[in-house]
């Protein structure tokens, strides 16, 4: 019961934080307040329904491993497909472009919670061939997220390269974890199943949106505070 509450609370918090970032992007749309209001209300409903619906389905054991075709990969692919289809919308692309890049990177700090796979491994509930690479990859992605976000925010000359490399590593970790989980069976049951059917595709989409922005723009200029400090020091 404790693990169920933990997973539901964590996924609810991270989902809310993701929506706040999306909200910031909506607020960045030029003019047209009614359009902004429509996207704000609509996105809030979609985010809430998406999480609530998957929690109910997962709790009802819809995503168990002994069902064919495999439903976990299907849920993941459907989510990714819908997320990428939204990119066909000019407004959606404008919203994503308006989300601060350091936010898209920093929000992935929650991936540290992938260490839960290691905990489950040491408790004998997950196979090591899946839990160790998946857990370590998530932890590394989460640990470096705030650092890379800070480099971008401060306009470091190496920020763009570091951010692209970090995104690619994070995406590779997700692909590797899903592949290993599918091959080993992974012992994925409720509530841990919320990670592959909900958290993984969400994280992969954020990586994708971050990469799109990174490939379109250079790192921001260093903050004015640094320039002012240098000027004072030289005077």
What averages of pLDDT result for each successive group of 10 residues across the chain (235 residues)? 84 95 93 88 96 93 78 90 96 95 96 90 88 95 98 96 98 93 73 89 97 81 48 41
What CA–CA distance (Å, rounded) separates 161 from 148? Answer: 10
According to the model, what pLDDT value does residue 220 have?
A: 62
What CA–CA distance (Å, rounded) separates 72 from 193? Answer: 8
According to the model, what pLDDT value does residue 135 have?
A: 94
For 82, the token pair is: 């819908």
According to the model, what pLDDT value does residue 166 have?
A: 98
Number of domains in the chain: 1
Rounded to 10 deg, the angle between the 200-216 and 2-27 helix axes is: 30
**Longest distance between any two alpha carbons in the chain, whole Å:** 73
According to the model, what pLDDT value does residue 31 have?
A: 76
Q: Count CB neighbours of 19 within 10 A.
A: 17
Please tell me the pTM assigned to this model. 0.89
According to the model, what pLDDT value does residue 3 have?
A: 77
The boundaries of the domain holding residue 104 are 2-234
Q: Is 62 exposed, middle or buried (0-12, 13-18, 19+ CB in 10 A)?
A: middle
């Amino acid at each position: 019961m404790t693990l169920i509450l933990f997973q539901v609370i964590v996924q609810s918090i991270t989902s809310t934080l993701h929506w706040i970032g999306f909200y910031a992007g909506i607020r960045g749309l030029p003019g047209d307040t009614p359009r902004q209001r429509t996207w704000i209300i609509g996105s809030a409903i979609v985010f809430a329904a998406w999480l609530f619906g998957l929690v109910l389905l997962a709790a009802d054991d819809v995503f168990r491993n002994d069902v064919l075709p495999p439903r976990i990969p299907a849920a993941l692919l459907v989510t990714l497909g819908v997320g990428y289809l939204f990119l066909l919308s000019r407004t959606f692309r404008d919203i994503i472009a308006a989300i601060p890049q350091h936010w898209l990177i920093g929000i992935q700090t929650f991936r540290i919670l992938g260490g839960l796979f290691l905990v489950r491994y040491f408790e004998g509930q997950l196979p090591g061939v899946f839990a160790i690479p998946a857990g370590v990859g998530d932890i590394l992605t989460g640990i470096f997220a705030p650092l890379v976000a800070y480099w971008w925010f401060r306009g470091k000359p190496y920020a763009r390269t570091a951010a692209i490399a970090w995104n690619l590593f994070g995406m590779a970790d997700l692909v590797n974890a899903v592949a290993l989980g599918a091959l080993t069976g992974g012992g994925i049951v409720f509530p841990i199943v919320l990670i592959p059917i909900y958290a993984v595709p969400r994280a992969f989409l954020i990586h994708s949106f971050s990469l799109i922005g990174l490939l379109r723009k250079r790192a921001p200029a260093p903050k004015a505070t640094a320039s002012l400090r240098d000027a004072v020091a030289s005077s």
